Amino acid sequence: MIWDLFAAPFAEFGFMRRALLGCVTIAVGATPVGVFLMLRRMSLTGDAMAHAILPGAAVGFLVSGLSLGAMTIGGLIAGMAVALASGFVTRVTALREDASLAAFYLISLALGVLIVSTRGSNVDLMHVLFGTVLALDNAALILLCSIASISVLTLAVIFRPLVLECADPQFLRSVSGLSAITHFTFLMLVVLNLVAGFHALGTLMAVGIMILPAAAARFWSASIGGLLVIAVLVAILSSVIGLLLSYHYSLPSGPAIILVAGIAYGVSVVLGPVGGLIAQALPRAHLES
């Protein structure tokens, strides 16, 4: 019974195992990045980047057809260009990060739509560019795993300056020259994870798995380590439950996974001990808060 419900789908079908591996990989790679995005109040960056990479991926597609490598590299270049340009404007001018990012992603999106439209064929490029979690082939899995590894290693290296940058950017800037390097390395990680996610899993999955578990974890822990562990756990559990729901109740997989993560977020908002609704409503000792 329990076997049928939870294990049989994965034991019987290779595509379910691939989907699970893909989800776990993206959970390990992208969710910690999402936690830092949340801490830096940049949670909407993921959505903006989804649009920003379009021209690069489109150029990759036009140059060499439906090739994983070309589209990924194109997307990376476009995403990095937008991230660097907006980061540069943020650091040297008075414009804040959100506004400069918005400006550059809109420019990039317009360029992407232009490139897609001037192409004669009318196959919907967005459908071609963005994959589904059920169709992960070896190339896509290898890409996901490599990017998750790079992402985790890089985060480990820049962990301390990154935490400082989140907590007190002025202080970091005053004591060390690492601030700018940390910032741009982090933006690179965001782009890398999103591009891999878009191609392998689709826009919704890539952004959803990055942001929702981080937002849910926020209600369970106040420490960075706790946030990271809980967010990754939430992401992996949502993936497993979402895939099983998709299997047993024939729901589309991507939305099912993200909705489960959404439910986890909703439950956390109400029940979470750190600033959740119930925790806030309960009377507490005067000095504790």
What is the C-alpha separation between 33 and 207, in angstroms, rounded?
11
Please, what is the minimum distance in Å from the beta carbon of residue 248 to other proteins? 7
At its nearest, how many Å lie between other proteins and the CB of residue 121?
Answer: 5
Kindly give, in sequence order, each residue whose CB lies less than 8 Å from that of residue 87, ignoring residues fewer than 6 positions away. Answer: 97, 100, 183, 184, 187
Closer Cβ to other proteins, 14 or 177, answer by number: 14
Residue whose CB is less far from other proteins, 141 or 279 = 141
Contacts of 19 (CB under 8 A, 6+ apart): 133, 134, 136, 243, 253
User: Both tokens of residue 68?
Assistant: 């994983």
**The one-letter amino acid at 69:** G
- Closer residue to other proteins (CB): 133 or 192: 133
Q: What does the binding site for other proteins look like in residue numbers (CB under 8 A)?
A: 9, 12-16, 18-19, 117, 120-124, 127-128, 131-132, 134-137, 243, 246-256
Residue nearer to other proteins on the CB measure, 29 or 131: 131
Which region, left, alpha or beta, applies to residue 20 given φ > 0 means left and ψ of -120 to 50 means alpha? alpha
Which SS3 state, helix, strand or coil, does residue 10 take? helix
Q: Which is nearer to other proteins, 102 or 128 (CB)?
A: 128
